[in-house]
Amino acid sequence: MLYLWPPYYLIFKINMTNSVKFAGLLMLMTFLSCGGSGENTDETANDSTKLDTIAAVNDQHSYANTEDVRTSHLHLNLTVNFDKKTLSGNVVHDIINSSSTSEMIFDMNDETISKITLDDDTTSTQFTIGDDDDLLGSPLTVTIKPDTKKVTIYFETSPESSALQWLAPQQTAGKKQPYLFTQGEAVLTRTWIPCQDTPSNRITYSADIQVPVELMAVMSADNATEKSANGNYKFKMDQPIPSYLIALAVGDLKFASLGDRTGVYTEPSVLDKCIYEFADVEKMIVAAEELYGDYKWGRYDIIVLPPSFPFGGMENPKLTFATPTILAGDRSLVSLIAHELAHSWSGNLVTNATWDDFWLNEGFTVYIENRIMEKVYGREHSDMLLSIEFQELQHENDDILAGDHPEDTHLKLDLEGRDPDEGMTTIAYIKGALFLKTLEEVVGREKFDPFLRGYFAEHEFQTVTTEMFVTYLHEKLLTPNNITFNVDEWIYGEGIPENCVKVESDRFVKVAEKALTINSITSAKELKVKRADWSTQEWMHFIRQIPAEADETKMAMLDKEYNFSNCGNSEIMAEWYVASIQKGYDKIDPYMENFLITVGRRKFLQPIYEELAKTEEGLAQAKLIYSKARPNYHSISTGTIDEILGWESGKHLDY
């Protein structure tokens, strides 16, 4: 199969002076006009629409010189050492040196490198490791020859590698075996693989991973469905992906099939819950395919990780990584699966070229997630989901506008010198999705759906910048249909534009009416709503709408009837804890503490710790809980919570 992913000349990086940049551009133009190119000459040179998309990509978060020389495939030979908390072995890069350069620059962060060899030569070539930046790591500059085809880096990861979370047996469901998982997005892959860690370069990969025999290894690749006898696992990912999507998990895993092309991996004791929860996954794939074209990745499996996983989900191709906090027992939180599945089109098939273009991944994905949910569960449900998110956008938009970086409310970001994590706000997600939904309403689905379908087809296995998308939007949708739309205001302007679609839910109006009566009743029975009468999202809305004047006795009244404090639904509990802290309702304390100690999902932790930190007493309580909980959290979560609580590592005793 041939993939039309960008030849190196379509994507090149500028981190040079202007004059060098200009000379480079001239060379590029000459190069193109001569019809010259490296690989994939025929597909691209003959396709004039592709040439329109020539863009300079400047990924400020990578040192790699991919414009000169780039990895096309990498092979990992790694042993997983749970005792030392390291991965050791080597990575073999197959390279394309289009400019006959004598230096190849990789990204690395904290690995120990013992030697680097070229092709079949066993003696080490020269290499230098540049200054270390906390966030970006160091440039690893390797001396190569113009005709070098293979660079092999022998290395060992640090036990502190931010991409890796090593769990002790007691942090797992089974409590008997250790566990390891990786998290690459955004700039963490370089902390476990020395590589060109930029989303603007796509690679295929393969791997040979050795783990203890009791454990099973899975990757974002083709996976076995049973443990191997000797702890050795071989993987292949034949479709080109950006480096942040390389992923590995190792644990006491068991597989269950959900359908012909779908299945779930998790610890044995969690498997039945997963099978029940994910019954609709195949329906979701069919819905997405009807809208945006075939699912291009073969299988779609899910791994449900231990609760310390810092995210809700991560769209590792072929194998979504997911938090167990979506296992509500009633399938009410599966929009998260629709979201990660949607990334199989937006993000994984068509990828943001830099982290400044993050909204192209996440905004598109939230939009598609909502379309999938509408198709599978109906408009009433998908409207509730979007309303919940819209409320979150309004709050965060106000907060960002009032802070130091109001420009962070632009869809197109400028994160130079900052952690790409700072761009992970509801702006990229929800403002991004609402931009597309507003366009959809103006243009009509009969035109908008084929437009998006065409966008994915024409850019599959490519990376795209915001500017490329804008050009494409004008050319393929707005100009031909004579439509004027405030594209620039949405993408390069602050806040939420006036013409944003109204996100409304009739069911939420009724919920809010009930919530208003809380102050005038003495028993929650008077609400005449049973727990099962409303969906998770209605209860979330209800909790958000509890009137400001309602005090802790009203909270106790509600808790008595609905047991929110310990109801087992993570979304409802997280909302309830925040509301309870505001009202001084402290009956939640033991449940909240238990939640904070077991769950490591940042989206839940952050608002709870923020709310606690607002008072002196709350801050002291938060610090006490955190000292017990922190060892269970991933570095992604501790990074955020340390800041909220003013926590300095080393100054406090972790229990």
Name the residue nearer to Zn ion (CB basis): 58 or 346. Answer: 346
Distance CA 464, CA 355 (A): 11
* Residue 591: partners with Cβ closer than 8 Å, 6 or more residues away: 565, 566, 573, 577
Shortest gap between Cβ of 402 and ligand BES (angstroms)?
24
Name the residue nearer to ligand BES (CB basis): 315 or 440. Answer: 315
In 29-145, DSSP assigns E strands to 55-56, 69-81, 86-97, 103-108, 112-118, 127-129, 138-143
220 binds, among ligand BES, Zn ion, none (CB under 5 to 8 A by kind): none
Shortest gap between Cβ of 339 and ligand BES (angstroms)?
4
**Which residues inside 596-625 make contact with ligand BES, applying CB under 6 A?**
603
312 binds, among ligand BES, Zn ion, none (CB under 5 to 8 A by kind): ligand BES
Shortest gap between Cβ of 310 and ligand BES (angstroms)?
8
Handedness of CA 563, 565, 569, 571 (dihedral sign): positive
Q: Which of 340, 362, 374, 389 is catalytic?
A: 340
**CB atoms closer than 10 angstroms to residue 480:** 11
Shortest gap between Cβ of 365 and Zn ion (angstroms)?
5
311 binds, among ligand BES, Zn ion, none (CB under 5 to 8 A by kind): ligand BES
Note if 429 is an active site residue.
yes
Name the residue nearer to ligand BES (CB basis): 431 or 554. Answer: 431
**Which residues inside 370-429 make contact with ligand BES, applying CB under 6 A?**
424, 429
Quick one: three-class SS letters along 520-561? Answer: HCCCHHHHCCCHHHCCHHHHHHHHHCCCCCCCHHHHHHHHHH
CB 292 within 8 A of CB 452: yes
Name the residue nearer to ligand BES (CB basis): 255 or 311. Answer: 311
Kindly write out the interface string for residues 363-392 of this chain, putting x where it contacts Zn ion by CB under 5 A and - elsewhere: --x---------------------------
**Which residues inside 277-316 make contact with ligand BES, applying CB under 6 A?**
311-315
Range in contact with Zn ion (rule: CB under 5 A) among 236-244, 288-296, 357-365, 583-591: 357-365
239 binds, among ligand BES, Zn ion, none (CB under 5 to 8 A by kind): none
Which amino acid is it at 509? V
Note if 67 is an active site residue.
no
Shortest gap between Cβ of 200 and ligand BES (angstroms)?
16
424 binds, among Zn ion, ligand BES, none (CB under 5 to 8 A by kind): ligand BES
Name the residue nearer to ligand BES (CB basis): 98 or 201. Answer: 201
Shortest gap between Cβ of 297 and ligand BES (angstroms)?
15
Shortest gap between Cβ of 341 and Zn ion (angstroms)?
10
**Which residues inside 584-643 make contact with Zn ion, applying CB under 5 A?**
none
Q: Is 247 left (phi over 0), alpha (psi -120 to 50) or beta?
A: beta
**CB atoms closer than 10 angstroms to residue 470:** 17
Q: Which of 292, 377, 429, 577 is catalytic?
A: 429
CA 438 from centre of chain: 24
User: Inter-axis angle of helices 445-459 and 281-292, to 10 degrees?
Assistant: 90
Name the residue nearer to ligand BES (CB basis): 339 or 541. Answer: 339
Shortest gap between Cβ of 223 and Zn ion (angstroms)?
22
Shortest gap between Cβ of 634 and ligand BES (angstroms)?
11
Range in contact with Zn ion (rule: CB under 5 A) among 167-175, 356-364, 578-586, 634-642: 356-364
**Pair type for strands 262-266 and 300-304:** parallel
DSSP element (H, E) containing 399: helix 379-402
Shortest gap between Cβ of 474 and ligand BES (angstroms)?
28
Name the residue nearer to Zn ion (CB basis): 171 or 344. Answer: 344
User: Inter-axis angle of helices 552-562 and 570-583, to 10 degrees?
Assistant: 160
Question: What backbone phi and psi angles, to 5 degrees, belong to 112?
Answer: -100, 125
Side by side, which strands form the sheet with 248-251?
164-167, 179-182, 248-251, 216-219
Name the residue nearer to ligand BES (CB basis): 111 or 389. Answer: 389
Name the residue nearer to ligand BES (CB basis): 359 or 490. Answer: 359
Name the residue nearer to Zn ion (CB basis): 240 or 313. Answer: 313
User: Inter-axis angle of helices 589-598 and 616-629, to 10 degrees?
Assistant: 40
The number of residues in the chain equals 655
**CB atoms closer than 10 angstroms to residue 257:** 12
- Residue holding tokens 């908390």? 85
Kindly write out the interface string for residues 565-584 of this chain, putting x where it contacts ligand BES by CB under 6 A and - elsewhere: --------------------
Kindly write out the interface string for residues 424-463 of this chain, putting x where it contacts ligand BES by CB under 6 A and - elsewhere: x----x----------------------------------
Kindly write out the interface string for residues 327-346 of this chain, putting x where it contacts ligand BES by CB under 6 A and - elsewhere: ---------x--xx--x---
DSSP annotation of 66:
T
β-strand partners of 255: 265
Residues in binding contact with ligand BES, number by CB under 6 A: 15
CA 482 from centre of chain: 36
**Which residues inside 243-282 make contact with ligand BES, applying CB under 6 A?**
none
β-strand partners of 322: 304, 313
107 binds, among ligand BES, Zn ion, none (CB under 5 to 8 A by kind): none
CB 452 within 8 A of CB 370: no
* Residue 342: partners with Cβ closer than 8 Å, 6 or more residues away: 288, 364, 365, 366, 368, 369, 372
608 binds, among ligand BES, Zn ion, none (CB under 5 to 8 A by kind): none
Which amino acid is it at 594? N
Shortest gap between Cβ of 344 and ligand BES (angstroms)?
11
**Which residues inside 546-565 make contact with ligand BES, applying CB under 6 A?**
none
Give SS3 for 480.
coil
Distance CA 82, CA 403 (A): 43
Name the residue nearer to ligand BES (CB basis): 156 or 421. Answer: 421
- Residues marked active site are found at 340, 429
Residues found near Zn ion in the complex (CB under 5 A): 362, 365
Residues found near ligand BES in the complex (CB under 6 A): 185-186, 311-315, 336, 339-340, 343, 362, 424, 429, 603
